[in-house]
Amino acid sequence: MQIELSPDVEVAVQRLVAAGAGSTPEGVVNTALRLFLDWPEMLRRHDELKRQIQEGVESADRGELYDGDEVFDEILAELAAKEPRSE
């Protein structure tokens, strides 16, 4: 497939390649198209994150807080339990 880009888009693609956003113009366009196709999922995840943040703020407003050190200790313990054991 061969497509023609408008001059301003072609300049933008070349700038992205020069900035290291892709190694070739084709790579930059492919990445842009994948992001475009993933946009609905990214919006859904963004909305879910906003909902979770709001839930956390409301929980904190009610005084339902956790000690940060305890939370990190629990996370580290869970990660250590999941690490493969060398024999």
Number of domains in the chain: 1
Domain membership of residue 26 (yes or no) is yes
Can you tell me whether residue 55 is helix, strand or coil?
A: helix
pLDDT of residue 44: 97
Domain membership of residue 2 (yes or no) is no
Domain membership of residue 44 (yes or no) is yes
Domain membership of residue 23 (yes or no) is yes
The answer to whether residues 57 and 63 touch, using CB atoms and an 8 Å cutoff, is no
Q: What is the domain extent for residue 46? A: 7-82
Give which of 5, 53, 55 is closest to 29, Cα–Cα.
5
Domain membership of residue 87 (yes or no) is no
- Distance CA(32)–CA(16), nearest Å, equals 11
Give which of 26, 34, 3 is closest to 13, Cα–Cα.
26
Domain membership of residue 30 (yes or no) is yes
pTM assigned to the model: 0.57
- Distance CA(51)–CA(65), nearest Å, equals 18
Domain membership of residue 1 (yes or no) is no
Q: What is the largest CA-CA distance in the chain?
A: 60
Structure tokens at 23: 């190694």
* Mean pLDDT in consecutive groups of 10 residues from the start of the chain, 87 residues: 94 97 95 96 97 96 92 94 75
Give which of 48, 47, 17 is closest to 30, Cα–Cα.
17
Domain membership of residue 71 (yes or no) is yes
